[in-house]
Amino acid sequence: METRRLGRTNLEISRLGVGLAEIGFTLTLAEESTAGAVLNGALDGGITFLDTAACYGISEELVGRTVSHRRAEYVLATKCGHVTDDYEGEPWTAKTVTDSIDRSLKRLRTDYLDIVQLHSCEVDVLEQGEVIEALLAAREAGKTRFVGYSGDNEAAAWAIKSGIFDTLQTSFNLVDQRARTRLFAQAKAQDMGIIIKRPIANGAWGVDQSPSDYADAYFERAQEMAAMGPLPNVPENRIKLAMGFTLAHQEVDTIIVGTRNPDHMQANLQWIAEGISLDLTTLAELYRRFEELDQDWVQRG
């Protein structure tokens, strides 16, 4: 498995990571064995980066139950800021952030986190500063080694410019390309690690209908781009095409791909092991189509 230095954290992480929203939202605690097959299979296959969030259903609990005994083998990132489950409080306060981190430590069955990320708050919350102070206090207390921001558009640009955050997690894929021209260079100038969410466009490319409500906007974009004619030299598999596009960018340190299906995890690992490359003519054509159609195609959160 190819690894990358995650910016100024100096953490070495696998180029393919695991996003844990799908596991958290679609599995139950009774399906712990399925989650274990996915996560242990990922670690056995060389993946060393797991990304979850306090608000991803039972994701943190499942990580704690299935792979906490292998804690030394992976870099663990979570997110905070939202009010989740039965927690009583207000979103985007110092107390909510602090309590969320403490709860994550318990659920994940670990005594430290590698990265805690503010979870897609807007610019006004960042400018107010309270949640940033709470995040930095958690780092000072040894609860997390590094701090990050997860989000898009103007808020992501603010987070980069601030110089506060060690990592940026942002949306980027073949139908969501603005990060390439608006965020990547600025983040790398700050030596931030770049984590890509939604790297396969929620599976919206090459299908006849949207895979989910969450993917509707991407599906519409994909339909418009595909209507411009066949792409040259494309891989035989639509997911390989999507992964190949995102991984073609050297600024990208890791992509987080989620699944609840152990077989899908193994397929992803096999493709990475074999090597996924995208022909430069295909890449250039995807750039051209996006740029031609992009009137208001902002990053999707």
- Are 63 and 77 within 8 A, CB to CB? no
| Banded pLDDT at 109 (limits 50, 70, 90) | very high
| Banded pLDDT at 88 (limits 50, 70, 90) | confident
Q: Which pLDDT score is estimated for 236?
A: 86
Q: Which of 195, 135, 198, 138 is nearest to 162 (CA)?
A: 135
pLDDT digits (tens, 9 = 90+) for 38-52: 999 999 999 999 999
Indicate the number of domains in the chain: 1
Cα distances (angstroms) measured from residue 99 to each of 110, 131, 135: 15, 12, 11
Assign residue 77 the CATH number of its domain: 3.20.20.100
Range of the domain at 25: 3-228+249-275
Q: Which pLDDT score is estimated for 210?
A: 96
Residues 6+ apart with CB under 8 A from 140: none
pLDDT reading at 245 higher than 90: yes
Tell me whether residue 292 is in a domain: no
Tell me whether residue 60 is in a domain: yes
Which pairing describes strands 75-80 and 3-5: parallel, antiparallel, or unpaired? unpaired
Tell me whether residue 293 is in a domain: no
Task: State if pTM tops 0.85.
Answer: yes
Tell me whether residue 282 is in a domain: no
- The encoded tokens of residue 143 equal 């609860």
Question: What are the phi and psi torsion angles at 6 (to 5°)?
Answer: -85, 70
Least confidently predicted of 82-86, 136-140, 212-216? 82-86
Which DSSP letter does residue 176 get? B
| Banded pLDDT at 221 (limits 50, 70, 90) | very high
Residue with token string 């790398």: 188
pLDDT reading at 85 higher than 90: no
Question: What are the phi and psi torsion angles at 248 (to 5°)?
Answer: -70, -10
- Write the DSSP assignment of 29-50 as a string of letters: GGGHHHHHHHHHHHHHTT--EE
pLDDT reading at 126 higher than 90: yes
pLDDT digits (tens, 9 = 90+) for 262-300: 999 999 999 999 999 899 999 999 999 999 999 999 999
Q: Which pLDDT score is estimated for 161?
A: 98
- Are 14 and 254 within 8 A, CB to CB? yes
pLDDT digits (tens, 9 = 90+) for 16-68: 999 999 999 999 999 999 999 999 999 999 999 999 999 999 999 999 999 99
The three-state secondary structure class of 262 is helix
Q: Which of 171, 229, 218 is nearest to 196 (CA)?
A: 171
Question: What are the phi and psi torsion angles at 117 (to 5°)?
Answer: -115, 140
Q: Which pLDDT score is estimated for 176?
A: 98
Q: Which pLDDT score is estimated for 290?
A: 98
- Are 158 and 127 within 8 A, CB to CB? yes
The three-state secondary structure class of 235 is coil
Cα distances (angstroms) measured from residue 110 to each of 31, 196, 220: 22, 24, 41
| Banded pLDDT at 5 (limits 50, 70, 90) | very high
Tell me whether residue 217 is in a domain: yes
Q: Please count the other Cβ atoms lying within 10 Å of the Cβ belonging to residue 255.
A: 27
Q: Which pLDDT score is estimated for 301?
A: 82
Cα distances (angstroms) measured from residue 42 to each of 81, 108, 186, 235, 243: 28, 17, 31, 24, 17
Q: What share of the chain is helix, strand, coil (3-state, %, to 5)?
A: 50, 15, 35
Average pLDDT over residues 119-135: 96
Distance between CA atoms of residues 126 and 148, nearest Å: 12
- The encoded tokens of residue 86 equal 């039965």
Average pLDDT over residues 196-218: 95
Q: Give the residue, 86 or 259, on which the prediction is more confident.
A: 259
